[in-house]
Copies of this chain bind each other. A is one copy, B any other.
Amino acid sequence: MAFHLDRNAYGKQAIRLSKIIRRPDHHEIRHISVNVSLKGDFDTVHTIGDNTKVLPTDTMKNTVYALAKDKFTASIEEFGLHLADHFLSNNPQVSEVDIEITEFSWKRMTIDGAPHPHSFIDGGSEKHEAHIKKNRQQTTLSAGIKDLLILKTTDSGFENYIKDQYTTLKETADRIFSTQCEVSWTYDGLPPNPGQLYNEIRNNLLHTFATHKSLSVQHTLYAMGENALSDFPSIREITLKMPNKHHIPFNLQQFGIDNENEIFIATDEPYGYITGTLTRE
């Protein structure tokens, strides 16, 4: 009946930080949320309350703000690598550092036809994410997009599926396809310019979504992953999570009105949830 402490980790989440980068003729605003998590030799912390190996999560928070001054100057991927290196180098009791950074989207305002030097507007629900996992042997860098809310009004169908005694869904060759998707990919090594690469991969994913003739969510999910892997050799593996944001045709027939695929009920729940990972062989 003996047991032991197995997997464990601790850290600080939701360290919310903004930075103004002051260029000669304009400002940039960066707005992020950072999670720090440590694994290591923490058995006695748990078993006897020995805190002598514990770096407080409050100190992690302070450290993120302090390092942001000099080290957060380009992509969140690069800032994350600095943070991981700092915590691993300064804490011999730690075997692995996980840094997750989420960047919120701000769009520069256009005022009187020109980009404004210091005014910004919300850039949408979409967020850029970076995840660094660093131990004494290696560093793994992943990036991704969260809450990417996209929709197409045609070139999407769902037919020829299994029918059983509980089937009521009608087949359709033309439906709305909408998803608040999450995509993450892991690089093979550390790419030279992860910020620019992120934008290119994001555009590639949107291009596939927009132009694919979709026979199912799975079919489009795979095509998005396939194109990203084909076009970006530095990606080793890509995972897509695609919750359906259903738009269901409203039954107007009951009122003697034809609904020619025009009027829909937009629903949140329940929702289909499709996930898949494509990886190089």
Contact = CB atoms under 8 A, between A and B. Distances in A.
Interface of A: 1-22, 27, 29, 31, 35, 37, 42, 45-59, 61-63, 65-66, 68-69, 90-91, 106-107, 109, 111-112, 116, 118-126, 148-155, 158-162, 164-169, 176, 206-207, 209-211, 214-219, 221-222, 226, 229-230, 233, 237, 239, 243-244, 247, 250, 252, 254-255, 257, 259, 261-281
A272 to B, nearest CB: 4
Contact of A151 (B6, B119, B153): B119
A69 B19 CA distance: 36
Stoichiometry, copies per complex: 4
B151 A19 contact: no
Given A13-B243, A62-B166, 6 more contacts: A18-B176, A20-B176, A51-B159, A65-B265, A121-B206, A124-B125
A126 to B, nearest CB: 7
Given A19-B263, A59-B169, A270 B3 contact: no
Nearest to A165: B255
A262 B164 contact: no
Contacts of A214: 49
Nearest to A211: B111
Contacts of A55: 161-162, 164
B167 A19 contact: no
A109 B206 contact: yes
Given A47-B222, A56-B167, A233-B1, A12 B271 contact: yes
Nearest to A255: B66
Given A69-B259, A263-B68, A118 B272 contact: no
Contacts of A125: 122, 124-125
Nearest to A4: B281
Given A120-B151, A152-B120, A230-B1, A52 B7 contact: no
A58 B237 contact: no
Contacts of A267: 16, 269
Contact of A4 (B5, B151, B217, B279): B279
Given A42-B218, A118-B152, A273-B13, A6 B69 contact: no
B8 A277 contact: yes
A219 B252 contact: no
A45 B152 contact: no
A56 B158 contact: yes
B119 A150 contact: yes
